[in-house]
Amino acid sequence: MLEMLVLEPSAKTPSITFNGENGKLELRGRSIPENSIEFYKPLIDWVDQYGSSPNPTTVVEVKLEYFNTSSSKCILDLFKKLEKINGSGTEVKVNWYYEEDDEDMMEAGEDYQAIIKLPFTMIEVEEI
């Protein structure tokens, strides 16, 4: 069993925590690095390992304020990995948060919902 992946936030990257013991993954903050592949690689690799002995439930909490198009592709790759492990030892759910007047972030969640076969819950909050 993997324990915990923690990536500290920076001015251009979000905080990421993935608790292997309760299956909770959280992305929070902004994701606008010039090259997001480098930044997301540890998370993608970690999900690969996690998939071999996952928690019975995996909950992904996406609480992003901004993300750029470079990150959008990496986030899609993350969801694709999670889509693959869904149903084989774990049930994956996505909670997509957006601020109440942020139609763009709501639509960004809908974009992934249209592509990825995972249950998405859209959650409107006052402030992320």
Partner 1 sequence: MILSFKGVVTADLLTSILQIMESRMESSNESPRVRKKVFNVLVECLQNLYHHADDYPDGRTALVMIAKEGNAFTVRTGNYIDNERAEDLKERLKIINTMDKEGLKEYYQNSLESSVVSSKGTAGLGMIDIARKSGNKLDFEFLNIDNERSFFCLNVKID
Sign of the C-alpha dihedral, residues 68, 32, 128, 113? Answer: positive
**100/83 Cα distance (integer angstroms):** 28
What residues contact residue 107 under an 8 Å CB cut-off, 6+ apart? none
* Smallest separation, CB 47 to partner 1 (Å): 17
Nearer to partner 1, 3 or 34 (CB): 34
Nearer to partner 1, 64 or 90 (CB): 64
Main-chain phi, psi angles of 117, to 5 degrees: -90, 70
125 binds partner 1 (CB under 8 A): no
With CB under 8 A, what is the number of residues at the site for partner 1?
Answer: 28
DSSP codes, 40-96? HHHHHHHHHHHTTS--SEEEEEEEEEEE-HHHHHHHHHHHHHHHHHBTTTBEEEEEE
Binding-residue pattern over the window 35 to 54 for partner 1, x denoting contact by CB under 8 A: xxxx----------------
Binding test (CB under 8 A) with partner 1, winner from 72, 95, 106, 123: 72
Binding test (CB under 8 A) with partner 1, winner from 45, 48, 111, 124: 111
Positions in the binding site for partner 1 (CB under 8 A): 11-12, 32-38, 65-66, 68-70, 72-74, 76, 99, 101-105, 107, 111, 114-115
